[in-house]
Amino acid sequence: MITLTVVSLLLSALSFILPAAAEPCIAMDASFNLLVFGVGGKDFNAGTQDSWTGSSATDITASGRPPFDGSNTTCYLAQFFNAIYVLNADSSDSTSVYIYNPTGKSWSKQPVTTPSGSPSFDPTDFKAILDHDTNVFYALSKGELFFLDMGALTAANSTALTWTDVGAPVAWGDLSTYQPVMALAQNHIHFIGVQGLTAGECDIFVIHFSFFQPAAQSYSSNFPESHGQAVSFFQKSDVQQEFAYIPDDGSATYVINVESNTTQTLAGPSVKDSSAQYFAGITSLVQLSSANSALSFLAYTEGSDNSAAAWTKITAVTLSTSSSNTSSTSVLGSGSSGTKTGSSPSATASTSDAGRTVMNTFGLVAGTMTLATFMI
């Protein structure tokens, strides 16, 4: 019995670590609790902003969750319905949308089809926003825009949904190599870094008219037209009016207001990571850097002077003690969890790929023997 337990523990740990890199994901529920998914095989609720710098989080790991072993995993809040939609969190299934229902703490998997033919949606190469009012995803994939209507889903429906072609913004030039930087505000999707834009401009897709605006809009700023990450701030209710843009070099955080057509230039994140994920609530912008095992936030007040806003480390959920900066570092369990199975080794990653494989295998065995080191 004991031998069996150790072996199955080892096997489950192996299956957790070896197939693919863990890729955590962040989102907030409709009460703006910070949810951190895919941390050492677990998911956590870090509570509202006032508790992020504390030392505890609630383990919300539940059955039916995706393995969070995909690439480019992204999470979205459907604010009207209090549902979280998760894309690309399962390396064995890149098309389905996993739905987390924060109220029932339950998961389900929505089947989604991607029709073949041309142009077709490439589920491994796209950037998407979830439209606040219509609950429809819009994704730019290889220069072509597609939509996926999520209806009012807070749990999966057995009828498959389908990515549908919208078209391509011909007036914006050839976008076949454009790596999208896009965010939603006032039912308009804003695109940064499209060829031909000058600093401080966005190209715009008007959702309600399914219209690619031919002329760019200026936001009285000089934010760079380069690659980066963009994410919309929520309002208590109603559509977003502002979004944050962080260029890949992390040199600044730009907050663009599409009502006043102005931009605030705020501090760049302390952790510079061009692969970092961002999620904005009403009063915060959260950064998740898997590569640096860092979770931090910028407190932000819409309509106020935020020039002194500073980035603060989130301590309620700890990603890893590893010093490796590579994305294939396995990410550790954390928060207030006490379960010991399925944990991953700590502080074993080295800087080279070959070294990491060896070290992880070693750490796995060591971690299994000692039932792993847990961080609180």
Ligand X SMILES: *[C@@H]1O[C@H](CO)[C@@H](O)[C@H](O)[C@H]1NC(C)=O
Residues binding ligand X (CB under 6 A): 71-72, 124-125, 151, 153, 157, 159, 217, 260-261, 325, 351
The residue among 159 and 176 lying less far from ligand X, judged by its C-beta, is 159
Q: CB 87 → ligand X: shortest distance, Å?
A: 11
Q: CB 316 → ligand X: shortest distance, Å?
A: 25
The residue among 321 and 373 lying less far from ligand X, judged by its C-beta, is 321
DSSP 21-57: ----EEEE-TT--EEEEEETTEEEE--SGGGTTSS--
The residue among 52 and 233 lying less far from ligand X, judged by its C-beta, is 233
Work out the burial of residue 128: count CB atoms within 10 Å of its CB; fewer than 13 is exposed, 13-18 middle, 19 or more buried: buried
The residue among 71 and 103 lying less far from ligand X, judged by its C-beta, is 71
Mark residue 291 as left, alpha or beta (left: phi above 0; alpha: psi -120 to 50; beta: remaining): alpha
In 3D, which of 80, 84, 115, 78 has the Cα closest to residue 97?
Answer: 84
361: enclosing H helix or E strand: helix 353-369
368: enclosing H helix or E strand: helix 353-369
2: enclosing H helix or E strand: helix 2-17
Q: 353-369 vs 2-17: helix axis angle to the nearest 10? A: 150
SS3 261: coil
Q: CB 374 → ligand X: shortest distance, Å?
A: 26
| Buried residues in 194-213 as b, exposed as e (16+ CB within 10 A) | beebeebbbbbbebeeeebb
Q: CB 78 → ligand X: shortest distance, Å?
A: 13
Q: Which structure tokens are listed for 367?
A: 């971690």
Q: CB 273 → ligand X: shortest distance, Å?
A: 6
CA torsion 63→28→40→128, rounded to 10°?
90
The residue among 222 and 261 lying less far from ligand X, judged by its C-beta, is 261
The residue among 111 and 342 lying less far from ligand X, judged by its C-beta, is 111
The residue among 56 and 251 lying less far from ligand X, judged by its C-beta, is 251
Q: Which amino acid is at 302?
A: E
User: Strands of 106-110's sheet, edge to edge?
Assistant: 74-78, 83-87, 97-101, 106-110
Q: CB 325 → ligand X: shortest distance, Å?
A: 4
Q: CB 49 → ligand X: shortest distance, Å?
A: 28
Q: Which residue has the tokens 């529920």?
A: 29
Q: CB 226 → ligand X: shortest distance, Å?
A: 15
Number of residues that this document lists for the chain: 376
Chain mean position to CA 78 = 14
Q: CB 335 → ligand X: shortest distance, Å?
A: 26
The residue among 49 and 240 lying less far from ligand X, judged by its C-beta, is 240
The residue among 72 and 306 lying less far from ligand X, judged by its C-beta, is 72
